[in-house]
């Protein structure tokens, strides 16, 4: 296993292959998605969007979902994806983006989406996906991985507080209308 110490606060090491629960020897397989994974990825994507209130009348347009999926499959694109597979079934997803920064020489990595199937929550799938993104970012020469979440996401924040440092930022957003 490889140790990546620069990406965790305090310089602590983490490993890319972790058991999904204490006293269990089963680890999820973390990998990039393949074109044939779409039907298994889609319920995870829909679940992620529903968690953030994008469902039914407020659901993302199908064109955004199709374009998002195609971006993952494009070689060399800035939008990347990982999926977690357990017993042949996709149980989690992580979508991330590399970009330049005005405060660092090296690129940074934005973990844009993270979701695990409700039936496997609390078993380390989310942590394994985050650790895999840390590894991908380290391999790409990024100097930091960061993400945002809703303040009310208490279950997610319990994990995030263990694997990263809350920097105290508040996120603002403004939607633009096409010219």
pLDDT along the chain (179 residues), means of 10: 34 39 67 98 97 94 96 90 97 97 96 97 96 97 96 94 94 90
* Pair type for strands 89-99 and 79-86: antiparallel
Backbone angles phi, psi at 158, to 5 degrees: -60, -40
Determine the CATH number of domain 9-163: 3.40.630.30
What are 56's two structure tokens? 């039914």
**How many Å apart are CA 65 and CA 61, to the nearest integer?**
7
What are 109's two structure tokens? 């990595």
pLDDT for 88: 94
Helix (H) or strand (E) holding 91: strand 89-99
Q: What is the DSSP letter of 102?
A: S
CA 146 to chain centre: 10
Which pTM was predicted?
0.84
pLDDT for 12: 37
Ranges of H-type helices in the chain: 38-51, 62-73, 125-139, 154-163
Helices (H) and strands (E) in the chain, counts: 4, 5
Backbone angles phi, psi at 65, to 5 degrees: -60, -45
**How many Å apart are CA 81 and CA 32, to the nearest integer?**
6
**How many Å apart are CA 21 and CA 24, to the nearest integer?**
6
Locate the domains of the chain by residue range.
Answer: 9-163
**How many Å apart are CA 174 and CA 119, to the nearest integer?**
35
CA 166 to chain centre: 16
Number of other CB atoms surrounding residue 76 within 10 Å: 4
């Amino acid at each position: 296993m490889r140790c990546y110490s620069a990406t965790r606060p305090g310089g602590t090491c983490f490993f890319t292959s972790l058991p999904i629960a204490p006293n269990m020897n089963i680890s999820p397989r973390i990998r990039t998605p393949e074109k044939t994974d779409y039907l298994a990825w889609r319920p995870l994507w829909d679940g992620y969007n529903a968690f953030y209130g994008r469902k039914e009348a407020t659901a993302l347009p199908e064109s955004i979902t199709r374009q998002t999926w195609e971006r993952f499959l494009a070689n060399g694109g800035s939008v990347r994806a990982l999926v977690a597979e357990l017993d042949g079934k996709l149980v989690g997803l992580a979508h991330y983006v590399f970009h330049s920064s005005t405060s660092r020489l090296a690129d940074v990595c934005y973990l844009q989406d993270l979701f695990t199937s409700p039936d496997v929550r609390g078993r380390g799938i989310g942590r394994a996906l985050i650790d895999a993104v840390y590894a991908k970012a380290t391999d790409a020469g990024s100097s930091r991985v960061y993400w945002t979440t809703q303040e009310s996401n208490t279950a997610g924040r319990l994990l995030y507080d263990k694997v990263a440092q809350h920097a105290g930022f508040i996120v603002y957003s403004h939607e633009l209308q096409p010219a």
